[in-house]
Amino acid sequence: MTNDLDIFVGNTTLIDEEVYQLWLDGYSVSEAVSQRLRAGALEQPGAGPGAGPGAVLHSDTLDHYRTCHMLERLLHAPPKLAHQLLFQIPPERQAGLIQRYYAFDEPFVRELLGKKLSKGTKKDLDDVSAKTGITLKSCRRQFDNFKRVFKAVEELRGPLVDNIQQHFLLPDRLARDYAAIVFFANSRFETGKKKLQYLSFRDFAACAQHLIQHWTLGAVDSHVDDMDVDLDKEFLQELKELKVLVADKDLLDQHKSLVCTALRGKISVYNEMETNFKNLSRGLVNIACKLTHAKDLRDFFVDLVEKFIEPCKADRWPPSDMRLFLTQYTGSAHALDAFRHQALWDRYMNTVTACLLQMYHD
């Protein structure tokens, strides 16, 4: 005797947290059932004696999967969940469902960061799946989430994080992460190079947050489209003016001596710093000057690593020394009489400093 039809519908929609997670993780019903069996679901109270092994679980799992499946449509537009009439779900449960639906695996997103959220990328997800050990189904869901959020906020006015929160009802931290993902996808920063492999999603997310805060249009004017997604073109153009700091020999020497005076005896890698100062400074300023070129903009993080982090790592700078150096390096420029782009310099260096500090680890 087989059950052709087997359903359970509660007035309050019942969603088992555990099954929901298995579903999100992309397991098939039978995989989920065996996982639950292993987890000892049947030993829980309520399973009762002699419950046919698996049969009860199978029916229960199928049921939840169906519910999840029906819910998925609503989860694509979370505000609908609060207004829809089909499922009666207490608000705090709704929030939980949304949050978990939009939660992502960091190893997965790390792979995708900076890539175009296109069909082509989606097709390659099986490689990502194989690499990360995350099921293809789950990869696709996460990819679609990124793309959906991207599409939804791409044309909107106002702060990116707020927009994401408003349209997807995500908690603050998750919304910030999505902002980072959107930002990376839009600017297509290179993150896949071998040199960058040591950086985690968290590192990039933190950098993205700094960039969004200080380098986008939104940093100066909060009433333009795409204000948080696109970098401030004018600002990037102006950055060329900083060239003078390395092009003018006097200025460079003056800058160096100011920094050296300030740091003497305060950092352990003083000598290395002194020898390398010109290289480092040239590196940072050159990065700034090239940001108008799309290709160089994309390589922003690669350049930071190549031009600054790697040399420092080679000399074993402790992070605290790097912090001191960058502070002094930025501050001393104000004392250069011939240098007139103080505001521009600060806007550039403050963000770069924050990124470098975030990225400077093993």
Partner 1 sequence: MPGKLKVKIVAGRHLPVMDRASDLTDAFVEVKFGNTTFKTDVYPKSLNPQWNSEWFKFEVDDEELQDEPLQITVLDHDTYSANDAIGKVYIDIDPLLYSEAATVISGWFPIYDTIHGIRGEINVVVKVDLFNDLNRFRQSSCGVKFFCTTSIPKCYRAVVIHGFVEELVVNEDPEYQWIDRIRTPRASNEARQRLISLMSGELQRKIGLKVLEMRGNAVVGYLQCFDLEGESGLVVRAIGTACTLDKLSSTSAFLPACNSPSKEMKEIPFNEDPNPNTHSSGPSTPLKNQTYSFSPSKSYSRQSSSSDTDLSLTPKTGMGSGSAGKEGGPFKALLRQQTQSALEQREFPFFTLTSFPPGFLVHVGGVVSARSVKLLDRIHNPDEPETRDAWWAEIRQEIKSHAKALGCHAVVGYSESTSICEEVCILSASGTAAVLNPRFLQDGTMEGCLDQRLSWQPGFFSIGSEKGEVDFFPQSQDSSSLLGIEETSPAGCGFCHIPYDELNMPFPAHLTYCYNCRKQKVPDVLFTTIDLPVEAMVIGKGCLIQARLCRLKKKAQAEANATVISNLLPFMEYEVHTQLMNKLKLRGMNALFGLRIQISVGENMLVGLASATGVYLTALPTPGGIQIAGKTPNDGTYEQHISHMQKKINDTIAKNKEIYEINPPEIPEEIIGSPIPEPRQRSKLLRSQSESSDEVTELDLSHGKKDAFVLEIDDTDAMEDVHSLLTDAPPPPGFYSCNTEIMPGINNWTPEIQMFTSVRVSRLSNITLTNQMLNKNFNDLCENLLKSLYFKLRSMIPCCLCHVNFTVALPEDELIQVAVTAVAITFDKNQALQTSKVPAEKSLQRASTDNEEQLQFPLELCSDPLASQPFSPAKEVLESASSHTGIPAAQRVASLDKASPLAEGHARHRSVPCSTNSTVTVVKMTPLSFIPGAKITKYLGIINMFFIRETTSLREEGGVSGFLHAFIAEVFAMVRAHVAALGGNAVVSYIMKQCVFMENPNKNQAQCLVNVSGDAVIFVRESELEMVPVQSSTVISQPTSAGGDVTT
Contact footprint for partner 1 (CB under 8 A): 1-14, 44-52, 55-57, 59-60, 62-63, 66-67, 69-70, 80, 82-88, 90-92, 94
Q: CB of residue 282 vs partner 1: minimum separation in angstroms?
A: 53
The tokens of 206 are what?
């933190």
Question: 75 or 160: whose CB is closer to partner 1?
Answer: 75
Question: 62 or 117: whose CB is closer to partner 1?
Answer: 62
Q: CB of residue 68 vs partner 1: minimum separation in angstroms?
A: 12
Please state, in angstroms and as integers, the Cα–Cα distance from residue 155 to each residue in 46, 103, 193, following that order: 51, 23, 30
Question: 124 or 154: whose CB is closer to partner 1?
Answer: 154
Q: Which residues pair with 231 in a beta bridge?
A: 216
SS (H, E, C) 120-134: HHHHCHHHHHHHHCC
Question: 56 or 224: whose CB is closer to partner 1?
Answer: 56
Q: CB of residue 150 vs partner 1: minimum separation in angstroms?
A: 18
The candidate with the shortest Cα–Cα distance to 212, out of 158, 167, 171, is 158
Question: 155 or 362: whose CB is closer to partner 1?
Answer: 155
The candidate with the shortest Cα–Cα distance to 358, out of 296, 316, 304, 295, is 304
Asked if 129 and 139 count as a contact pair (C-beta separation under 8 A), the reply is: yes
Separation CA 14–CA 64 (nearest Å)? 8
Question: 52 or 318: whose CB is closer to partner 1?
Answer: 52
Question: 101 or 308: whose CB is closer to partner 1?
Answer: 101
Q: CB of residue 169 vs partner 1: minimum separation in angstroms?
A: 10
Backbone angles phi, psi at 15, to 5 degrees: -130, 115
Asked if 215 and 160 count as a contact pair (C-beta separation under 8 A), the reply is: no
Q: CB of residue 101 vs partner 1: minimum separation in angstroms?
A: 18
- 351: CB partners within 8 A, 6+ apart: 210, 211, 213, 214, 215
Question: 28 or 286: whose CB is closer to partner 1?
Answer: 28
Q: CB of residue 85 vs partner 1: minimum separation in angstroms?
A: 4
Separation CA 259–CA 256 (nearest Å)? 5
| Residue burial 45-78, b: 16+ Cβ < 10 Å; e: rest | eeeeeeeeebebbbbbbbbbbebbeebeebbeeb
Q: CB of residue 9 vs partner 1: minimum separation in angstroms?
A: 4
Q: CB of residue 55 vs partner 1: minimum separation in angstroms?
A: 7
